[in-house]
Structure 1
Amino acid sequence: MTNPALTKAGVRTFDPRITLGLVCLAIFIGAVDLTVISAALPKVMIDLRLSLDTELNRASWAVSGYLLAYTVSITFMGRLSDLLGRRMVYLLCLVVFLIGSAWVAAAPNLTMLIIGRVVQALGAGAMVPVSMALVGDLFPPGQRAAALGLIGAVDTAGWMVGHLYGGVLMRIFDDWRLLFWLNLPIGLVALGLTWYALRQIPTPPRAGHFDWLGTVLLSGSLVALNVGLAAGSELGATDFYGERLGPPPYAGPLVIVALVLLALFVWAERRSADPLIGLELFTRRDTAMACVINVMVGFGLAIAITNVPLYINTYLLLYNPTDSDILRVAAWDAGWMLSALTLTMAAAALPGGLLTGRYGGRLPALLGLALALVGYTLMAFWGPEATYLRMGLELALTGLGLGLVIAPVADTVVAAAGEDRRGAASALVIALRLVGMTVGVAILTLWGVHRQDELRRAGADNPLAMTDPARFLMEIAAQVIGETFLFGAAACVVGLLAAWLMRQVSAGADGKQ
C-alpha cells in the first residue's frame, strides 16, 4: 500500500513491502559485519603475520573500530537524510559499505584492514536510521509500526548472529577474506534493486542546515562513553582463572569527558535554530518514556548476549580442560543458543508492530516487558548444570518479550518527530539502544569480576574447592551469572514503569503528544 501523500502528488511508487525487504537485506549484511570479524580474527592474525602476544590489542580494533564508526555514523546520517533526501543518502551509504568491504577483503596489512572496517561501518551504521525514516515516509501510520519493528529486529539479529555466520563460513572455507568478498555480489544486487525501487520517490528540498557543532559534540560523547565503559570489558576475559587488572586509567576520565560533552551538546542544541535532535521530543511524556524503555531494552539485551557465552564457555572449559577444540565448540554452542534469543526477537517484532498499529504503543510495550521480566527472572536461577533445552526456552521467552517492544518504542519516537525530522529521530532510537548496551556490558563486567572474586575468597574453606574445583568454580560462575540476570530483570521493571506512564493514544496516529 502506498503512502497517501505520494499518491496525492500523482507518483506511483514501488510496493513499499518489497522496498522494505530490500532495505532489510542491506541492513542485515551491514549488521552481520559488526561481529563477523570476531570469528575470523585468529586466522586474520596468522595470515597477516601478527603476534598473538604483542599485537592482539591492536587487532581488536578491527572489531571496536567498526563499532565506534557505526555509532558515529548513526548520529548524523539520519539528519542528513532529512535534508538531502532518503534515496540519495541511503544509496550513498550502501556504496560506502561496499567500498569498505572490498578494502577489507584486499587489505595487505592490519592498518589497512582497520581503515577498511571503519569505512564499512560509516556506511552500515547510517543505513539503519535512514531506512527507519524511509519507512516513515512510505508507510501510513497504521502500518508503519510493523515495518519499523522488522527493521529493528533485522538489525539486532544481524549483529548478534554475525559470529555464528562467520564461524560457519570459516569452518567451511577457512578464508577470512571470503567473508568480505561475499558482501559485494549481495550488496550490488541490493543496490541495483533498491535504486530501482526508490527511483520515483520524490526528494523535495528541505529547509534548514546541518548542525555541525551538535554532530561533533554528540559523536564525541558517544565515542568517549563507548571507549570508557568498554575499557574494562577484558576484566572477565580470563573468567575464573588467574589475576585480573583493574580498568585502565583512562576509563574514568573518558566517562567524565562523555558527560561533559553531552552537557555541552544539550546546551548547544537549546540555542541552535536547526538542531541535530529536537530536544522537545524529551518534553513529551510518551516520547520521553519510549526513550527510557529503549535504553532499558539495550541494557537487558547486553546482559543476555554477554552472559550466555560466558556461561557456556566457563562450563565447557572447566569440565574439558584438555580438549584442544573446546573453544571452537563453545563458540558454536553459544552462537546457536543465542539464536534462540535473536530469532525470537525478530519473529516477535512484526506482531509487536501490528499490535502497535491497532492498539497504540503502550499495550505491546507492557506485554513485552512483562514477558522479558519473567524470562530474566527464570534465567537468574540457572544452576551449574542448566541444560541447553532450559536455556533455549527461557532465552526464547526473553526474546519474545524484547521483540514485542521494538516497534512501539520506534514508532512513538518517529511519529512524534514529524516528517522533516524522521531521520534524526530514527538515529536517536538506535543510539539510545547502543548506549543501554554499552552501560549493560560495563556494569555486568565490573560487578561480575568483583563478585566472583569475593565469592572465591569467601569459599576458600569450602571442601569442594579441594575435592572438586571445577564444580566449585562452576557454582560460583552460575551464581554470579544469575545475579547479573537480575540486573536485566530490574531494567525490565524500570521499563514497565515507563510504559505504564505512556498515554494510550489513538493507534497509528501521528501528531503532537
Structure 2
Amino acid sequence: MKNPALTNVETRTVDPRLTLALVCLAIFIGAVDLTVISAALPKVMIDLRLALDTELNRASWAVSGYLLAYTVSITFMGRLSDLFGRRKVYFLCLITFLVGSAVVAAAPNLTILIVGRVIQALGAGAMVPVSMALVGDLFSVGQRAAALGVIGAVDTAGWMVGHLYGGVLMRLFDDWRLLFWLNLPIGAVALGLTWYALRNVPTPPRVGSFDWPGTVLLSAGLVVLNVGLAAGSELGATDFYGERLGPPPYAGPLVGLALMLFALFVWVERRSADPLIGLELFTRRDTAMACIINVMVGFGLAIAITNVPLYINTRLLLYHPTDSDILRIAAWDAGWMLSALTLTMAVAALPGGLLTARFGARLPTILGLGLALVGYLLMTFWGPEATYLRMGLELALTGIGLGLVIAPVADTVVAAAGGDQRGAASALVIALRLVGMTVGVALLTLWGVHRQDVLRRAGADNPLAMTDPARFLMEIAANVIGETFLFGAAACVIGLVAGWLMRRWVVTHHTG
C-alpha cells in the first residue's frame, strides 16, 4: 500500500526537524504531568482540606488515575491517527490535555481534580504514539530511527523529571495550581507553532474501520492488570518496622481476569477484518524480539526508579529521624540522583538511533543492554554508605545502556508496520514498556517486603539490632535493594538473548 505520508512537492513545505522539535515540546509537557503531581500532593491535601489519615488513598487517584487514562489512550489513539490523519488526532490530543490542565488548576475539590487529571492523561498519553507515527511518515528510513530515539528520550526524560520540576516550583512558589496553569501558555504556543508546521501534512484516505471490540478488550485488560498489580504495591506504604499484611484478596483475581481479557483480545483480533493491532507483527522474529526487549527495558527501568528513592529515603530517615526537613531533603536528593539515570538515557537515545540507521537494530540493542547489565550488577553492591558519586556514575552507565535501546526497538516495530498501521504499532511500543514497568514495580514490592521481613527476623539476635538499630535496618534495606537490582540484571540478560536472535541487519527500506 502506498505510504500516505508525503509527496515530493509536499515534503518541500514540511520541515521534519522543526516538526519533531515542536511535537517533542508537547510530549515533554504531557510526560512531566505524569509525575509532577507527586511533589504537589501534600499541598493539595492541605488546600482542599483533606484528612491525611482517611483520604490519602482517594487522593492517590490523582496519580494512579492519570496513569490508567494515559495507558488507555495509548491503546486506541494511535490507530485513530491511522484512520483520520496524524494532524487531526494530534491536535485533538493536545487540546484535550490543555482542557484537562485548566480543570485541574481550577478544581474546587478532589473529585474535580481527579476528573481533570484523567482528561489530561487522555490527551497526553496519545501524543506519544501519534508523534511516533508522524515521524514514521515524515522522515526517511535512514533518519527515522534517530528521530524515534529523540521522541523516546523526551518522553522518558519528561516523566522522570516531573518530580524535580514540581519540587522546584513548589519550593519557589508554594502554589500547586501554578503547576497546571503554566501548561496553558506553553501548550498554546506549542499548538500554534505545530499547527503552522503541520499545515501541509496531508490527511490520508481512510482505510478500514475502527476496531471497537479490540479496543475495549485491550483497554479493559490493561486497566485491570494495572489495578491488580498496583494492589501489591500497597505493601510499599510501610517502613521497615512492624508486621505487614499480604496482598489484598482481589489482587490475584484481577491479574487472572486481565490475562483472560488479553487472551480474548487475541482471539478477537485474529478474526477481525481491521484489527486494532495486526498480530502478524508478532510472527516476524525481529518484531517479536523487539517487543520482548521493550518489556524488559520497562521492567528494568521500574526497578531503578523505584529503588533509588527507596534507598535515599530509608537512609536519611533512619539516620536523621528528628530532622523535620528530612523528607524535603530526601525528595530533592532522590530527584537529582534519578536525573543521572534519565538524562543520560535521554542523551543516549539519539546515538542509539544513529547507530540503528548505520548498522541496524541488533548492534545498538546488544551494546545498550550489555552496558545496562553491567550497571545493574554494580548497583547490587550498594551498601549502607554508598556515596552519591558512586550511585550517580552507576546510574549513568545504566541510563546510557537503556537509552541506546530505545530507538532500535521502536524503529523495528514501526518499520514492520505499513503506513496505515504505524499509529497502532507506535502505540504498541509505548504500551509494552508501561506493562513492563507495572510488572517491575509490583514484583519489586512483593519481593522486597517479603525479603526484608525474613532478614529482620533472621537478624533478631544480631547485637547490632540492639546497639545501633538504624544501622541494622539500613543494612537490611541495602541488602534487599541490592537483591532487587538483580531482577534488573536478569531483565537485561533476557533482552540480550532476544537481541542476539534478531537479524544482523534490521534496517528496512520499506516505506509503507
Q: Work out whether the TM-score is over 0.5.
A: yes
Deviations 1:422-453, CA, capped at 9 Å, x for gaps: 00000000000000000000100000000000
Amino acid corresponding to residue 205 of structure 1 in structure 2: P
Q: How does 1:22-421 map to 2 (within 5 A)?
A: 22-421=22-421
With over 3 angstroms needed to count, the CA separation of the structure-2 counterparts of 1:257 and 1:369, relative to structure 1, is same
Runs of 4+ in 1 over 4 A off after TM superposition: none
Establish whether residue 443 from structure 1 lines up as the match of residue 466 from structure 2: no
1:67 & 1:510 partners in 2: Cα distance?
35
Amino acid corresponding to residue 90 of structure 1 in structure 2: Y
1:10 & 1:197 partners in 2: Cα distance?
12
Q: Secondary structure at the match of 1:487?
A: helix
Amino acid corresponding to residue 203 of structure 1 in structure 2: T
Residues 33-42 or 241-250, more deviating: 241-250
1:485 & 1:5 partners in 2: Cα distance?
43
Contact 2:65 2:114 in 1 (8 A): yes
**TM value normalised by structure 1:** 0.98
How far is 1:237 from its partner?
A: 2.0
1:356 & 1:4 partners in 2: Cα distance?
24
Amino acid corresponding to residue 371 of structure 2 in structure 1: L
2:149 & 2:183 partners in 1: Cα distance?
24
2:447 & 2:270 partners in 1: Cα distance?
36
CA RMSD across the alignment: 1.2
Segments of structure 2 that go 5 or more residues without pairing to the other structure are none
Contact 1:13 1:198 in 2 (8 A): no
Deviations 1:340-361, CA, capped at 9 Å, x for gaps: 0000000000000000001000
**TM value normalised by structure 2:** 0.98
1:230 & 1:241 partners in 2: Cα distance?
22
1:25 & 1:242 partners in 2: Cα distance?
46
2:17 & 2:497 partners in 1: Cα distance?
34
Aligned to 1:454: 454
Residues 195-204 or 406-415, more deviating: 195-204
2:241 & 2:101 partners in 1: Cα distance?
38
Q: Secondary structure at the match of 2:52?
A: coil
2:4 & 2:322 partners in 1: Cα distance?
65
1:13 & 1:124 partners in 2: Cα distance?
27
2:252 & 2:4 partners in 1: Cα distance?
51
How far is 1:9 from its partner?
A: 4.8
1:428 & 1:506 partners in 2: Cα distance?
19
Contact 1:299 1:439 in 2 (8 A): yes
How far is 1:70 from its partner?
A: 0.2
Q: Secondary structure at the match of 1:264?
A: helix
Contact 1:82 1:421 in 2 (8 A): yes
Q: Secondary structure at the match of 1:53?
A: helix
How far is 1:15 from its partner?
A: 1.3
Q: Secondary structure at the match of 2:324?
A: coil
Establish whether residue 431 from structure 1 lines up as the match of residue 431 from structure 2: yes
How far is 1:242 from its partner?
A: 2.5
1:478 & 1:510 partners in 2: Cα distance?
49
Segments of structure 1 that go 5 or more residues without pairing to the other structure are none
How far is 1:5 from its partner?
A: 6.2
Amino acid corresponding to residue 313 of structure 1 in structure 2: N
Contact 1:356 1:508 in 2 (8 A): no
2:25 & 2:378 partners in 1: Cα distance?
34
Amino acid corresponding to residue 126 of structure 2 in structure 1: A
2:192 & 2:511 partners in 1: Cα distance?
35
2:270 & 2:4 partners in 1: Cα distance?
34
2:242 & 2:48 partners in 1: Cα distance?
30
Deviations 1:96-141, CA, capped at 9 Å, x for gaps: 0000000000000000000000000000000000000000000001
Deviations 1:61-81, CA, capped at 9 Å, x for gaps: 000000000000000000000
Q: Secondary structure at the match of 2:507?
A: coil
Deviations 1:275-295, CA, capped at 9 Å, x for gaps: 000000000000000000000
How far is 1:418 from its partner?
A: 1.2
Contact 2:382 2:478 in 1 (8 A): yes
2:477 & 2:76 partners in 1: Cα distance?
41
Amino acid corresponding to residue 351 of structure 1 in structure 2: P
Residues 441-450 or 243-252, more deviating: 243-252
Contact 1:312 1:330 in 2 (8 A): yes
Amino acid corresponding to residue 117 of structure 2 in structure 1: R
How far is 1:206 from its partner?
A: 2.2
Contact 1:358 1:508 in 2 (8 A): no
How far is 1:380 from its partner?
A: 0.4
2:5 & 2:175 partners in 1: Cα distance?
49
Amino acid corresponding to residue 265 of structure 2 in structure 1: F
Amino acid corresponding to residue 261 of structure 2 in structure 1: L
Amino acid corresponding to residue 49 of structure 1 in structure 2: R
2:269 & 2:54 partners in 1: Cα distance?
44
With over 3 angstroms needed to count, the CA separation of the structure-2 counterparts of 1:112 and 1:371, relative to structure 1, is same
Establish whether residue 17 from structure 1 lines up as the match of residue 17 from structure 2: yes
Aligned to 2:489: 489
With over 3 angstroms needed to count, the CA separation of the structure-2 counterparts of 1:483 and 1:22, relative to structure 1, is same
2:440 & 2:241 partners in 1: Cα distance?
23
1:168 & 1:332 partners in 2: Cα distance?
9
Deviations 1:127-160, CA, capped at 9 Å, x for gaps: 0000000000000010000010110111111111
With over 3 angstroms needed to count, the CA separation of the structure-2 counterparts of 1:48 and 1:271, relative to structure 1, is same
How far is 1:207 from its partner?
A: 1.2
Contact 1:75 1:431 in 2 (8 A): yes
How far is 1:4 from its partner?
A: 11
How far is 1:10 from its partner?
A: 4.8
Contact 1:357 1:508 in 2 (8 A): no
How far is 1:249 from its partner?
A: 1.5
